[in-house]
Structure 1
Amino acid sequence: MVCSSHPFARTRIPVLSPTKIHGAVAALSAIALLTACTPSGPDPDATPNDAKSAEAAAEPVFRVGSVSDAQATKSSAQESSSRATDSTESAEPTSTTASTPEQSGEVVETGTETEVEPGERISLSVENAVLSDISITESDHPRIDSDPGVFFDTAGTALEAADQSKKSADETSAEPTDESTEDAKAGSSTPSESASADAAEPTAKKDSAKEKHVVTAPDDAAAWVSAYDLVADSTYDLSATATSADGEEHDFTSTVTVAATDASPMSVRTVLADDQTVGVGAPIVLNFDSTVAKQYRDDVEHRLSVKVTDKDGKKRTVEGSWAWLPDNPQSRLHFRPKEFWPAHSKVSVDAPLKNVPTTDDTVGQNDLTLDFEIGRKQIVKADAKSHRMVVTRDGKEVMDFPASLGAAKSPSYNGTHVVMSKAADYTMTSEQWDYETDVRWAVRIHNNGEFIHAAPWSTGVQGSANVSHGCINLSTARAKQYYDSALYGDPVEITGSNVSLSTSASDISDWVYDWDEWTKLSALD
């Protein structure tokens, strides 16, 4: 009997029952006896060796299912707890079998379209073979990073992830030459001048985008469950390679279609604008109009990508991380590099969050993209002890002004502030100090009321004494000169005070965190 494929078939995948848990993967071998392709009839003359050859040549059987988010989360927690217990109770390595969701699912032939419900995680298992690699790509959003998922053996034991470093190094070793950053990340080659190469370019880009998402399976992998929820009203390309006992590789593909959702929308917005030029300390800010539940934050963050190039489109490697700052009361998600942005760069942000689960009852309302530029590297250093404010631009000193910082009763705060806004005319008010004063050339550097602004009334002591309520006072002419040069995101570093900034009470406290503290605020491992 010959196994036939049905490329236009469509299979509806049910959510796997949460009661069928531990050891379900082991049942696959029994199910395989009923579903795998077998010889059409017994041969009375067959020898034991012939039987072994027939068994080795049995076609792999692929099954696709879906796992609820609650199941997957519970299973992951149990696995982590079990590993921790093993490590504390015994110095000897032990085998850990997690309570994993059933991996059997429905038999699906390659090329078949499958349908699943939104908010679930996809599972794939194979019989008569072991998984070599797997990838799942959202058709409309190829920039999203690969989903590593979790692999299991036939006993239902979660396997340690395979080393992906070689694949990652291969993907990132070549410098992109195409001006399209997205194409460069996808690994596309430089466009050829030949007509035939031009015709093949869309296919090459699609293939290379798929390769970017390939995850190498560990040894003895028989099943896989995605790490992230499937997004409503989306289409995914699921592909895998399995190796049978005779060493032959078998490819599997399926188009996974996710149903629509009736969940309520939650919008997301950013404070930056397309084509805006900002300072080297500017964070990328995503503000949600409500609170994103903690169990869904990894689903949101996983989909975000940040690309940095120079003015000519050549890739720049910048280490950075997203961080979920304290809710205010809405959720705030910021990205900052480990060090300041490289000057004179272009930054492209892709945040495909439409229909992404944000709570049990809400999903993202909109996708968001952002393209902005990093300007010159201008840094302000103000010292409360020397009473000076020094401005450097691209490493060269361009201003050195006498200044007056916060008085002893109302000191300025040590730490890295960031230019948040500026106004030529501004009214300063303070209930604590009971004043209302109109000032000129005001540059806000913190939510606590700290500004750099013109203060003609303190000109006589600027450079020798600190008399302000926490602001950096300059003469009117000097304040105007600095004001004209200031960009959103310019760092302002204050030293010499007896108090320091905290991570609270500011829309932008990103640079108050040290790098280790910052990365711990990410929802991703």
Structure 2
Amino acid sequence: MTEVGQVKKNRKGWKIGVIAGVCVLAVAGGVGAATVPTWANNTIASEAQKPANNEPSLVAPVIKPMVLGVTPADGAAAVNPATPAVVKATNGTVKNVSLVDDTTGAAVKGSVSADGSTWTAGAPLKFNTSYTYNYTVVDQANRETTKSQTFSTVPEGNEADAWSYVPDGSVVGVGQPVELNFSEPVLNKAAVEKAIKISSTSGQVGAFRWYGNEKLRYRPETFWKAGSTVTIDMKLFGVDFGNGQIGNFNKTITMKVGDKQVLEADAAAHVAKYYVNDKLVRTIPVTMGDLRFPSASGYLVVLRDKQDPAVFKASTIGLKPGDPADYGTITVRHATRLSLSGEFIHQATDSALPYIGQTNLSHGCIGMDAENAKFMFDNFLFGSVVHVSNSTTKETIANDDGFGDWNIPFKQYASR
């Protein structure tokens, strides 16, 4: 803010002082100056100088200089839309304010404080928009000043968005981490995390983990409690992601945690046991990954991608014609995806059906008969858990190849 009414003298006489970027209303002699009454020059030095009859002395009224502060400033560019639009007249009053979107002509509504000194916009600004202010303020001597100024907000190219892997209101399995994906790289990670509040009706506390600069996840120490609701409250409007990228929304989404569904798949026993809320519901004979393409060990999470039918091409995993493992292109039924790299639960091919429950001959998938594959396809919530044991490899899926988050000890997960 700049004090209005300051004047300074130089060798060429009196002039109006201007402090950078703020309108200055001078209270002094010269053009536009207030008329000074003749009695204003009377010298009243002390009580001893008052008239003997104690009649009141003529003393010039004290008029404090008005300080005018306007945000955003005149001519400002790339203004963060979260910046409050305010006109404030200290030692003065705001008579009227008009703040208009130059593109649409729509006025931004606002209100004046009880003491009349401050006008504040009642709605946030928009991205990629030019605005014009017109306002009138009045100082303590009842002198009006009217001014017009313009500014513009962050351009479209610096507007940053984000979206959730889980659609709002979805029912998910107990192993589903929160995942947010950002349209622009996030450099100010601490600021973004601070703007996101995640809570659960189960009271579970979790931790954030970044996968690169555009993917953020959150999970509790143990699986979400069945029947709980997880709320993700994002206050990202106006948050600086870094490199001039500004968040463009506030949003709250929820995910409802369904039954605890876990499939324990034992590669050595060729059997999978399906539990619901820790009770065994089905024992399913399976065939899993062979020696060359063993099923990943540890935890996997059911993804949203279910396909019926699904078309598999051997070339997508690097197999070429002439390779004994090359299966060309095949179509399978009731495929429930477990990893982005291509592990599924699905109905085994006709040639593999005789080996279910006896040996492992898949390329990493969990093969079942038609009835059980369809049952899992129809009932297994995305976000539910598959736990693979006794595979011929100790290797787990990559942490971001689907959701390998549960293979990371929580202390390590939280420490990043």
Q: Same fold (TM over 0.5)?
A: yes
Equivalence for 2:338: 445
Equivalence for 2:406: 511
Equivalence for 1:320: 206
Residues 505 and 305 of structure 1: CA distance in aligned 2, closer, same or farther (over 3 Å): closer
Structure 2 residue matching 1:460: 3-state secondary structure: helix
Higher helix share: 1
* Partner deviation per Cα, 1:214-234 (whole Å, 9 max, x = no partner): xxxxxxxxxxxxxxxxxx969
Cα distance in 2, alignment partners of residues 509 and 395 from structure 1: 22
Equivalence for 1:262: 154
Equivalence for 1:46: none
Cα distance in 2, alignment partners of residues 396 and 478 from structure 1: 17
Amino acid at match of 1:461: Y
Residues 414-493 of structure 1 aligned to structure 2 (within 5 Å): 414-420=297-303, 421-431=305-315, 432-433=318-319, 434=326, 435-455=328-348, 456-493=350-387
Equivalence for 1:185: none
Residues 391 and 279 of structure 1: CA distance in aligned 2, closer, same or farther (over 3 Å): same
How far is the alpha carbon of 1:366 from its aligned partner?
2.0
How far is the alpha carbon of 1:490 from its aligned partner?
0.5
Residues 271 and 504 of structure 1: CA distance in aligned 2, closer, same or farther (over 3 Å): closer
Cα distance in 1, alignment partners of residues 267 and 208 from structure 2: 33
For structure 1, the residue ranges without an aligned partner over 5 or more in a row are: 1-13, 15-112, 121-231, 235-258, 310-315
* Partner deviation per Cα, 1:448-480 (whole Å, 9 max, x = no partner): 211000014312111110000110010111111
How far is the alpha carbon of 1:424 from its aligned partner?
2.1
Cα distance in 2, alignment partners of residues 346 and 504 from structure 1: 25
Amino acid at match of 1:448: S
Cα distance in 2, alignment partners of residues 362 and 336 from structure 1: 27
1:277 pairs with 2:277: no
How far is the alpha carbon of 1:445 from its aligned partner?
0.5
How far is the alpha carbon of 1:260 from its aligned partner?
7.9
Amino acid at match of 2:408: Y
1:119/1:357 contact within 8 Å kept = no
2:80/2:154 contact within 8 Å kept = no
Structure 2 residue matching 1:406: 3-state secondary structure: coil
1:233/1:355 contact within 8 Å kept = no
1:379 pairs with 2:262: yes
Cα distance in 2, alignment partners of residues 300 and 472 from structure 1: 39
Cα distance in 2, alignment partners of residues 505 and 317 from structure 1: 26
Amino acid at match of 1:407: D
Cα distance in 2, alignment partners of residues 405 and 261 from structure 1: 57
2:296/2:397 contact within 8 Å kept = no
* Partner deviation per Cα, 1:22-72 (whole Å, 9 max, x = no partner): xxxxxxxxxxxxxxxxxxxxxxxxxxxxxxxxxxxxxxxxxxxxxxxxxxx
2:160/2:246 contact within 8 Å kept = yes
Equivalence for 2:197: 305
Equivalence for 1:214: none
Cα distance in 1, alignment partners of residues 264 and 338 from structure 2: 13
Question: Greater Rg, structure 1 or structure 2?
Answer: 2
* Partner deviation per Cα, 1:382-431 (whole Å, 9 max, x = no partner): 01111101110011101101100001011101010000021221111221
Amino acid at match of 2:307: A
Count matched residues. 268
Cα distance in 2, alignment partners of residues 261 and 520 from structure 1: 37
Equivalence for 1:288: 182
Cα distance in 1, alignment partners of residues 313 and 342 from structure 2: 9
Structure 1 residue matching 2:333: 3-state secondary structure: strand
Structure 1 residue matching 2:249: 3-state secondary structure: coil
Structure 1 residue matching 2:352: 3-state secondary structure: helix
Cα distance in 2, alignment partners of residues 320 and 233 from structure 1: 34
Structure 1 residue matching 2:189: 3-state secondary structure: helix
Residues 260 and 400 of structure 1: CA distance in aligned 2, closer, same or farther (over 3 Å): farther
How far is the alpha carbon of 1:307 from its aligned partner?
2.1
2:80/2:246 contact within 8 Å kept = no
Residues 89-488 of structure 1 aligned to structure 2 (within 5 Å): 261-262=153-154, 264-293=158-187, 296-309=188-201, 316-327=202-213, 331-420=214-303, 421-431=305-315, 432-433=318-319, 434=326, 435-455=328-348, 456-488=350-382
Percent identity reads 28
Cα distance in 1, alignment partners of residues 379 and 226 from structure 2: 15
Higher strand share: 2
Residues 488 and 260 of structure 1: CA distance in aligned 2, closer, same or farther (over 3 Å): farther
Cα distance in 2, alignment partners of residues 319 and 345 from structure 1: 13
Structure 2 residue matching 1:457: 3-state secondary structure: coil
1:269/1:368 contact within 8 Å kept = no
For structure 2, the residue ranges without an aligned partner over 5 or more in a row are: 1-19, 21-68, 73-78, 83-123, 127-150, 320-325
1:448/1:505 contact within 8 Å kept = no
* Partner deviation per Cα, 1:333-372 (whole Å, 9 max, x = no partner): 1111110000011121111112210122111122232122
2:230/2:255 contact within 8 Å kept = yes
Cα distance in 1, alignment partners of residues 314 and 246 from structure 2: 40
The CA RMSD measured in Å over matched residues stands at 2.8
How far is the alpha carbon of 1:501 from its aligned partner?
1.3
* Partner deviation per Cα, 1:129-183 (whole Å, 9 max, x = no partner): xxxxxxxxxxxxxxxxxxxxxxxxxxxxxxxxxxxxxxxxxxxxxxxxxxxxxxx
How far is the alpha carbon of 1:509 from its aligned partner?
2.3
How far is the alpha carbon of 1:119 from its aligned partner?
11
* Partner deviation per Cα, 1:242-282 (whole Å, 9 max, x = no partner): xxxxxxxxxxxxxxxxx984251011011211221000001
